[in-house]
Amino acid sequence: MFINGSWQKPLSKKYFDTINPATEEKLSEVAEASAADVDKAVKAARNAYDKTWRKMPARERAKYIFRISRMIQEKARELAIIETLDGGKPIRESRDFDVPTAGNHFFYYAGWADKLEYAFPNRQTTPLGVAGQIIPWNFPLLMAAWKIAPAIATGNTVVLKSAETTPLTALKLAEIIQEADLPPGVVNIITGAGATGAAIVNHPDINKIAFTGSTDVGKIIQRAIAGTNKKATLELGGKAANIIFEDAPIDQAVEGVINGIYFNQGHVCCAGSRLYVQESIAKEVIRKLKDRMESLIVGDPLDKNTDIGAINSRQQLETIHKYLQIGKKEGADMYESSCPLPRKGFFCRPTMFTNVAQSNRIAQEEIFGPVLSILTFRTDDEVIEKANNTPYGLSAGVWTDKGSKIFNMTRRMRAGVIWANTFNKFDPASPFGGYKESGFGREGGLHGLLPYLNLVNH
């Protein structure tokens, strides 16, 4: 664990294994932080906040963060391989998306550090203090970047816990942070499971909780910090609607749907898991989806040609299988790719359900796997109503060639990120976050600064 600028053994003296989900082989043992370890990390963060980071001129803070960004770029290949080994995602994605985007995120927020007075008209800003951050296993390094970069750019210090099944790249990031000479304690990275996360949430000297994960845990956190002054950003689940109209650029839409649900094995909170196709083109779209699905390669995540890697954990694979059973039982037609699966490791064929009803569980609940539910619709109003008919509101997609329809749809869909004629795009400059039970607060862009700041009158 990386606490106060150095590598420390856990006071708990406990370790847990992290495995490669593609081979089920053990990669290494990592420390399991106890409440006492969390306390140590928080103390380090508090100390760094009071004595160093808060007082440092903002332009100097910026330079540290720029430096971290550069080092991520330098070590991109190494990070990509570790990410793929530990999490099971295809190397093509970790190499072309996760790692560069993580580096870019630091670069983007570094530049904000000394320009905050321009971000909020007529207000001055002050940092919150110590931020406790808990990240998920689907984009381990990228989520660490999303959390750490804006927090330290705005003058806060950080205690970050990586996910239980994917701790390695965050630790590698800690190495980079150490090499970048960031003052000790500004960023502390600890490892552990749910109990460690709870210790962070409940620690009295933490001013801010930033969490990305399931809606259930998000609610637990919201309850846990009731009665405290802790601020919170929650980035939770989703069940995004992806809507294809008959006048859409169909082939790009099909590609967008494929990218929307099979990207990162479907382990994406904003995955386009509910596909709404206008009835007049449903047959054509489904045929094309099936053909395209057949061309997806499932297998060894380290193979550059792999499109769909390993499911992150046995537990997640079981969850997905459970939903496949539910879908079949509910009477939907299941279609899965005929591709072979490796014998070892946690793999799942890309799957789609047709004949799905709005009331089916596979159309309502987040599966977090490569499983697409296809529903049909006839009119604009009908599909808007169905698309918004969910407790979630993280993202949505719409495909049509008609400009005025795009603006009608994008305005009426209740979600924080809307992709029109595209899907699953991310950028450090673009705010991300949900409506309703998909959580609150934004990450990315100008709007990603506010969750880490107090605004004060001049």
- Write the interaction track for another protein spanning residues 110-139; mark x where CB under 8 A is met and - where it is not: -----------x-x----------------
Q: Which of 420, 451, 452, 453 binds another protein (CB under 8 A)?
A: 420
Q: What is the distance between the alpha carbons of residues 52 and 430, in angstroms, rounded to a whole number? A: 30
* Cβ 197 vs Cβ 173: under 8 Å: no
Q: Which of 146, 353, 432, 452 binds another protein (CB under 8 A)?
A: 432
269 is catalytic: yes
Indicate which residue of 32, 235, 366, 437 is catalytic.
235
Instruction: Tell me which stretch binds another protein (CB under 8 A): 23-31, 48-56, 138-146, 214-222.
Output: 214-222
Rounded to whole angstroms, the maximal C-alpha distance in the chain is 65
Our CB check for another protein shows the closer of 236 and 311 to be 236
Instruction: Tell me which stretch binds another protein (CB under 8 A): 17-25, 37-45, 218-226, 326-334.
Output: 218-226
Give the number of residues in contact with another protein, rule: CB under 8 A.
62
Our CB check for another protein shows the closer of 287 and 321 to be 287
Least distance (Å) from another protein to the CB of residue 207? 15
Indicate which residue of 93, 269, 270, 366 is catalytic.
269
* Cβ 186 vs Cβ 48: under 8 Å: yes
Closest C-alpha to 161, from 97, 215, 206: 206
Non-local (6+) Cβ contacts of 43 within 8 A are: 205
Structure letter (DSSP) for residue 443: B
Non-local (6+) Cβ contacts of 226 within 8 A are: none
Q: Which of 11, 27, 76, 406 binds another protein (CB under 8 A)?
A: 406
Our CB check for another protein shows the closer of 18 and 400 to be 400
Helix H or strand E encompassing 362: helix 361-364
Instruction: Tell me which stretch binds another protein (CB under 8 A): 160-168, 201-209, 248-256, 313-321.
Output: 248-256
- Please, what is the Cα angle at 386 between 276 and 246, to 5 degrees? 35
Our CB check for another protein shows the closer of 341 and 406 to be 406
Helix H or strand E encompassing 403: helix 403-412
Q: Which of 27, 81, 193, 220 binds another protein (CB under 8 A)?
A: 220
| Coil, strand or helix at 113 | coil
Neighbouring C-alpha atoms within 13 Å toward the C-beta of 443: 29
Tell me: does residue 275 bind another protein (CB under 8 A). Answer: no
Our CB check for another protein shows the closer of 189 and 293 to be 293
* Cβ 403 vs Cβ 302: under 8 Å: no
Going from the C-alpha of 139 to that of each of 10, 38, 84, 273, 275, the distances in angstroms are 25, 23, 10, 18, 23
Instruction: Tell me which stretch binds another protein (CB under 8 A): 110-118, 169-177, 287-295, 351-359.
Output: 287-295
Question: Residue 188: beta bridge partners?
Answer: 159
User: What would the two tokens of residue 432 be?
Assistant: 């991300």
Binding residues vs another protein (CB under 8 A): 92, 96, 104, 121, 123, 215, 218-220, 222-223, 225-227, 234, 236, 247-253, 255-256, 284, 287, 291, 295, 304-305, 391, 401, 406, 410-411, 415-422, 425, 427, 429-433, 435-437, 439-440, 442, 445-447, 455, 457
Instruction: Please identify every residue annotated as catalytic.
Output: 235, 269
